[in-house]
Amino acid sequence: MNRLLLSGAATMISLAGAAQAQSSVALYGLIDAGLTYTSNEITGSRGGHSNWQMTSGAVQDSRWGLRGAEDLGAGLKAIFTLESGFNLSNGQSLSDNRIFNRRAYVGVSSRDYGTVTLGRQSDGMVDFVAPLSLTGTEFGGTHFAHPFDIDNLNDSFQINNSVKYTSPEFAGFRLGALYGFSNQAGGFTNNRAFSFGMSYVRGPWNFGVGYLQLNSAARTPGQLNANGAVTDTTASSLQGVLSASAVPLGVLADSQKTLGAGVNYSFGPAVAGFVYTQSKLTRFFQTNLSANFQNFEGNFRYALTPMVELSGAYTYSRAGGNGGGGIPHWNQVSAMADYRFSRRTDVYIQGAWQRVSPSGSSPLGVAWINGVSNPSSTTTQLQATAGLRHRF
């Protein structure tokens, strides 16, 4: 009898262990805090002043999340991710109306056929082009972004109501596509988004291309379809510069079409890269105004030792069209030095300098480094941060 009881208990323990191995949920996160100096920020009617402040997310947004998977057999898995960004300086969420403001999706993954997910997700520019830039990586991040992050390489906004497919890797290729629904009866295209991308890796070469299109019928934020694909309050807006809104400019236009491509080449402890993006906006604010933003980024990383990494980028950007009163262009130089205490904890020093050369009566005539609270009162702005980052 005792032998039977022991045998049954052993069987139950074995089955419980197998069930646990087939299903998992993990808590994860990243905390990025620093002290930031900005050379010039507009402060109301008093002009520009320098600023010393404690900041959160100078390189990567602080966030926490849950991710899980359940083995369904035959190479299939049910997966989910719930992720929320927050400001470490004051403990507040980065969004007033979302619990999981960065990502929230569920789906099914197949070893042979790829992954389908539904929810709030990143687009093809973020997935396929951003890793080849420094703004979309841990080696540069927020302040390295192109002006206003108009191309979304720094993941300033995510796509709601989206269905996404990502292929498995085959012969070095990986493909992806996404569609974000407007969720509006009688307004199928009013605040919708669609995107696709591809990457190819062969030896030391890494190529990526992405496309993102936003469509809307809104002229002002109050007219925006609030249940649509893009509703974020983000740093990618031109608020205070074009008196636009606190949402991405593309959802206040008939369309925003963003195309990007990049390449990285690895040699020894170094990686060199180049990224080009273009964003065309038509009839923003439902007028005849149009704009075309182009960004050219050259970047470089070098692992000085296994613990010390150096990185830098130069970006040239220009804006044209009939909405700017001219053709302003930006020059930005960014650099970062990182020291790793361990795989999870590091300290860094990073900085960015930007100069804008406006043309004609362009309202884009002042410098504004991405992630800095306010634009400069002049054509130049300098930012520097010393920070600590921890992953869990």
Instruction: Decide if 387 contacts 166 (C-beta within 8 A).
Output: no
Confidence (pLDDT) at 289: 76
pLDDT tens for residues 283-301? 776 667 788 999 999 999 9
pLDDT at 11 over 50: no
Region 102-121 average pLDDT: 97
Cα 101 from Cα 24, distance rounded (Å) = 23
Q: Which residues pair with 195 in a beta bridge?
A: 178, 212
Instruction: Read off φ and ψ for residue 177, nearest 5 degrees.
Output: -150, 150
Region 371-387 average pLDDT: 94
pLDDT at 137 over 60: yes
Confidence (pLDDT) at 241: 41
Confidence (pLDDT) at 383: 97
pLDDT tens for residues 151-188? 999 999 999 999 999 999 999 999 999 999 999 999 99
pTM of the model: 0.88
CA torsion 222-224-226-231 (nearest 10°) is -110
Confidence (pLDDT) at 380: 94
CA distances 286 to 220, 223, 255, 362, Å, are 9, 11, 10, 19
Domains of the chain by start residue, with CATH: 23-391 (2.40.160.10)
Region 226-237 average pLDDT: 70
Confidence (pLDDT) at 285: 65
Region 137-145 average pLDDT: 95
Confidence (pLDDT) at 164: 98
Could you tell me the two tokens for 277? Answer: 């993006």
Confidence (pLDDT) at 232: 79
Highest mean pLDDT among 41-55, 238-252, 264-278, 312-326: 264-278
pLDDT band at 6 (very low <50, low <70, confident <90, very high): very low
pLDDT band at 252 (very low <50, low <70, confident <90, very high): confident
pLDDT band at 228 (very low <50, low <70, confident <90, very high): very high
Beta-carbon contacts of 365 under 8 Å, excluding residues fewer than 6 positions away, are 328, 356, 358, 379
pLDDT at 10 over 50: no
Percent of the chain with pLDDT over 70: 85
pLDDT at 226 over 90: no
Confidence (pLDDT) at 206: 98
Confidence (pLDDT) at 45: 65
Confidence (pLDDT) at 338: 98
Confidence (pLDDT) at 143: 96
pLDDT tens for residues 46-94? 678 999 999 999 999 999 999 999 999 999 999 999 999 999 999 999 8
Residue 87's Cβ-count burial label (10 Å; 0-12, 13-18, 19+) is: middle
Beta-carbon contacts of 93 under 8 Å, excluding residues fewer than 6 positions away, are 84, 85, 86, 87, 99, 101
Percent of the chain with pLDDT over 90: 72
Confidence (pLDDT) at 253: 75
Could you tell me the two tokens for 255? Answer: 């369309």
Highest mean pLDDT among 91-95, 347-351, 374-378: 347-351
The 3-class SS string of the chain reads: CHHHHHHHHHHHHHHHHHHHHHEEEEEEEEEEEEEEEEEEEECHHHCEEEEEEEEECCCCCCEEEEEEEEEEECCEEEEEEEEEEECCCCCCECCCCCCCCCEEEEEEEECCCEEEEEEEECCHHHHHHHHHCCCCCCCCCHHHCCHHHCCCCCCCCCEEEEEEEECCCECCEEEEEEEECCCCCCCCCCCEEEEEEEEEEECCEEEEEEEEEEECCCCCHHHCCCCCCCCCCCCCCCCCCCCCCCCCHHHHEEEEEEEEEEEEEEECCEEEEEEEEEEEEEEECCCCCEEEEEEEEEEEEEECCCCEEEEEEEEEEEEECCCCCCCCEEEEEEEEEEEECCCCEEEEEEEEEEEEECCCCCCCCCCCCCCCCCCCCCCEEEEEEEEEEEEC
Confidence (pLDDT) at 97: 81
Which of 123-127, 249-253, 295-299 comes out lowest in average pLDDT?
249-253
Beta-carbon contacts of 354 under 8 Å, excluding residues fewer than 6 positions away, are 147, 330, 331, 332, 367, 368, 369, 380, 381, 382
Position with higher pLDDT, 234 vs 186: 186
